[in-house]
Structures are given as structure tokens and as C-alpha cells.
Amino acid sequence: MVDAAPPAPESAWEYAPAPESREIVSIAPGYGLFINGEFTPAADGKHFTTLNPATEEPLAEVAEAGERDVDRAVAAARTAYERTWGPMPGTDRAKYLYRIARAIQERAREFAVLESLDNGKPIKESRDVDVPLAAAHFFYHAGWADKLEHAGFGPQPRPLGVAGQVIPWNFPLLMAAWKLAPALAAGNTCVLKPAETTPLTALLLAEVIQQAGLPPGTVNILTGDGATGQALVSHPGVDKIAFTGSTEVGKEILRAVAGTGRKLTLELGGKAANVVFDDAPLDQAVEGIVNGIFFNQGHVCCAGSRLLVQESVADMVLDRLKRRLGTLRLGDPLDKNTDIGAINSRQQLDKIEQLTAAGEAEGAQRWSPPCLLPTAGYWFPPTVFSGVSQSHRIAREEIFGPVLSVLTFRTPEEAVAKANNTPYGLSAGVWTDKGSRILWMTQRLRAGVVWANTYNRFDPASPFGGYRESGFGREGGRHGLAAYIDG
């Protein structure tokens, strides 16, 4: 059962609607695959519908790539690797990458609106986070393209060849940028498969790639489902596989690639601890908790989905958190005042509902602020579980939704033991007034990224990635480039 809500904020008043116009975007009724610089139908004519998850309204029909299309795309990428992009000097590759970055900036509103329509995320996040960071990734890697021989990869760093890249639906454009920019900067060519539920910004990026004049075949974009991804990662013509997605599929790919000698990086799931000590600036920490788990509806691999709060301040933090959650606005993703958008798909909503039902059944206390959910589309209110124990499924499994599990601790040692009690190892957060305690914690937390007195900060120069069941390899920075260089 949902507990009673705290009193409504004193000045309970409504924001007027502030919708971003969708006029800037023109969505075609149908889209083909982007192979060898051109849009083309799937060889067997198959296609699927992509929906707006906030309304369930169909947005477009998109081609579904089969094995013959994967063959065509990999062959086009191989030819570009051998004849145009591969032999091209780094100074020239850099110019193309700068062009892509500039074009993303010029078309930023179009990308942001399209991303919010296809994914369901609030426009203020697609506008202020996804799109600027995607442009930043291309700018950053453009800077590397002509400096690779000075980056510690040896005197003549060589690319790997054709990269097969598979990405999820939570940051569709940004994940495409994370994959394509370092691969291209290092001289590889790419075949990218976006997620089935969010293909549209990758196809707009294909238009930008045409606009930037990249040699045909340098980047190929194959829309489709899991079978398309499987055909791509198991194609013998692919030299390097880069996968971001669930741990389950990551393990399948690892098994398929084992023994083939092909290079692989896996960016998988997480169940991060956000650790709040009693000396932390608590109001700031509450903002960090909200950002950590409710940003992008919690569809974030590094989300701070387990709050570990020191027992002496636990009631106070929970109280302030509930008040703050009472001010979040859930609804139309295109409204500039919206904080919480739609869940990306029916399938993901079902998963969140199942895991939250398990949380209640196992005895944790569930709370959500009063909030009306729209009748059409896929929605889930911000939800907090207190009284969670480490054995509960909601403390162990990745929910990938706006759901926070709250646990408490008494000593720093106990905080570390609980934070590390997970098969994952992607990220963590630490909130404390003491620099020495931050250093003590970061030496002990088993996570690829640790944020101190902040959360969910990303920069193209900063390597991101995990270990254990969160995968291996890094994206961003010099470490991210290394994944696309032979040696």
C-alpha cells in the first residue's frame, strides 16, 4: 500500500503549460536503413512501428534489417575502411567530425524534440543534456583525430577495422555519439544498431552524416530488433564489437565472441549506491539523490538506485526527500516544466511494476507523492521504498525506472560493505563534508565511477565504464579511444 503523503507544499499552485512546439521536426511516414551513404529498404521489405511512449501514438514505420542487410552494411563499411576513411589523414577525419558536431548544434532543437517524442524523456533533459553532450563527444574526438600518435598508443597507432555497435534506448542519440565519435576519430568504420523502440534520432544523425559529406559506407545505421543486433555482433566481417545494454545480453555476446579473437567492450547494467553521511550538506544531498534516480525516469545505467543513508540522519533525509518529490511534475515530455516523462515502453513498465510489487511483497514500505498519471501512454510515479534490506530484490536487481530503495548504515565500514554488496560495479556517489572521507571511500568502493558531492556528471574527456557484471572497457577520454586502436 502507498503510505500517506506529506502535506502539500505551502504555495500549492500550478504551472501554466509550456509546450515545446513539435513543428521543428518533420517525421516521415517511413524510414529505410542507412547503408553506404543512402537510405534503402530492408532486403526482405520488413518494417516495424516506432511509438511515442507518452501517448502510444505511432510516429513512423522503420525498416527492420535482416541478415542480408547486415551483410550489405558490413561490406560497405569494409570498403570505406580500405579505400576512403581508413587511409584518410587524421587532420581530414577531424574536419568531418567537427562538421557533424556543428550540424548537431545547428539542429539541436530538432534533435531534442525528436528524442523526447520517440523516447518519452522530458524536453529539458534532451535539450540540456543529451543533445549538447552528443555534440561535445564529436567535438572532443575531432580534437583527437590528428593527435593519436602523441597519445601514448605508440608511434603509428592503427585502427581495428569495422566496428559493429549496438546501443540501448535510454539515451539514443548520446549513446550513438559515444560509439561513433571515438571509432571514427581512430579511423574505423561503423555499423550501428539503435534500439528498436528509439530509432529516430539515429536516423536523423544519418542525415547529418550525409550532410557532413562523410565517404559512403563510413557510418551505416541498421534499425531492427534483438535479432538484428545478434546478426551484427556475430558477423565474421566485424573486427570490433561495442555493446551497451543489459548484462543478460552482454553475457550472450561475450559467449558468442569468445575464442574468435575479435575485440569486445561491454557497457552493461548497474545498481549504484548513493551514500549520504551525517555531515553532508543535506539539502544538496537531497538534490543529488533526486538527480541520481529520477533523472531520465531512472532509465540510467549508473542511476543511484540504492540510497545508503547514515542512520542518525535517515529520518530527516527521507522527510526532506519526500517534500522535494512532492514538487516534481510528471507529464507531457514536450512541456518545458516537466521533470518526469514517460516510461519508454510497455515492456519496461511491466518490469518496473513487477519489481515494485516484489518490493511490497517482501515487506519494504512503498511511498509515492500524489500525482495524476496520464491515461494514455506508459507512466510510473516517482517511488521510494524504505525499510529495504539487502536481500530484497529491489536492492539487488536493476529496476531501470524511477524507483529508489533506501537502506541505512551506522559506520563508514558498513556503508562500504553494503555499497559493494552487488554483482555490479558501474558507479557510486558519496556525500560528506570531509575530503579525507571521500578519498577513504573512493579507495574502497568497487565502482568504475565515483561521484563526490554530485551525481550523474558526464564529460567526453572523462572515461566511463564498469567492471564485474557492469562490463569492461571505457568510453570517453583517452581510455575510450584505446578501445578502437589496435595493440
Which residues are at the interface with ligand TAP (CB under 6 A)?
Answer: 166-170, 193, 195-196, 225-226, 229-230, 233, 244-246, 249, 252-253, 267-270, 301, 398, 400, 426, 470-471
Give CB contacts under 8 A, 24+ apart, made by 246-249: 246/168, 247/398, 247/424, 247/469, 247/470, 247/471
How far apart are alpha carbons 348 and 388 in whole angstroms? 22
| Catalytic position from the list 20, 64, 301, 475 | 301
Q: For the chain, how long is the longest CA-to-CA vector?
A: 67
Comparison of 386 and 456: residue with beta carbon closer to ligand TAP: 456
Smallest separation, CB 213 to ligand TAP (Å): 28
Smallest separation, CB 83 to ligand TAP (Å): 28
Comparison of 186 and 233: residue with beta carbon closer to ligand TAP: 233
β-bridge partners, 404: 384
Smallest separation, CB 230 to ligand TAP (Å): 4
Smallest separation, CB 383 to ligand TAP (Å): 18
Smallest separation, CB 30 to ligand TAP (Å): 18
Comparison of 269 and 341: residue with beta carbon closer to ligand TAP: 269
What's at 425, amino acid-wise? G
Contact residues for 177 (Cβ-Cβ < 8 A; gap 6+): 104, 133, 134, 135, 137, 138, 205
Smallest separation, CB 118 to ligand TAP (Å): 12
β-bridge partners, 155: none
Smallest separation, CB 171 to ligand TAP (Å): 6
Q: 487, exposed or middle or buried, with CB in 10 Å at 0-12, 13-18, 19+? A: exposed
Comparison of 193 and 324: residue with beta carbon closer to ligand TAP: 193
Smallest separation, CB 396 to ligand TAP (Å): 14
Comparison of 70 and 94: residue with beta carbon closer to ligand TAP: 70
Query: How do strand 471-472 and strand 219-221 relate by DSSP bridges?
Result: unpaired
8 Å CB contact between 404 and 273: no
190 counts as catalytic: no
Q: 444, exposed or middle or buried, with CB in 10 Å at 0-12, 13-18, 19+? A: middle
Smallest separation, CB 17 to ligand TAP (Å): 31
Smallest separation, CB 61 to ligand TAP (Å): 16
362 counts as catalytic: no
How far apart are alpha carbons 323 and 9 in whole angstroms? 7
Comparison of 77 and 253: residue with beta carbon closer to ligand TAP: 253
Angle at 245 between CA 130 and CA 347, to 5 degrees: 90
| Catalytic position from the list 267, 398, 469, 475 | 267
Comparison of 113 and 249: residue with beta carbon closer to ligand TAP: 249
Comparison of 134 and 309: residue with beta carbon closer to ligand TAP: 134
How far apart are alpha carbons 379 and 328 in whole angstroms? 14
Comparison of 35 and 88: residue with beta carbon closer to ligand TAP: 35
SS3 readout for 369-385: CCCCCCCCCCCCCCEEE
Comparison of 184 and 426: residue with beta carbon closer to ligand TAP: 426
Q: By beta-carbon distance, which residue lies closest to ligand TAP?
A: 229
Could you tell me which of 419, 423, 427 has the C-alpha nearest to residue 464? 427
The interaxial angle of helices 172-185 and 131-145, nearest 10 deg, is 0
Residues labelled catalytic: 267, 301
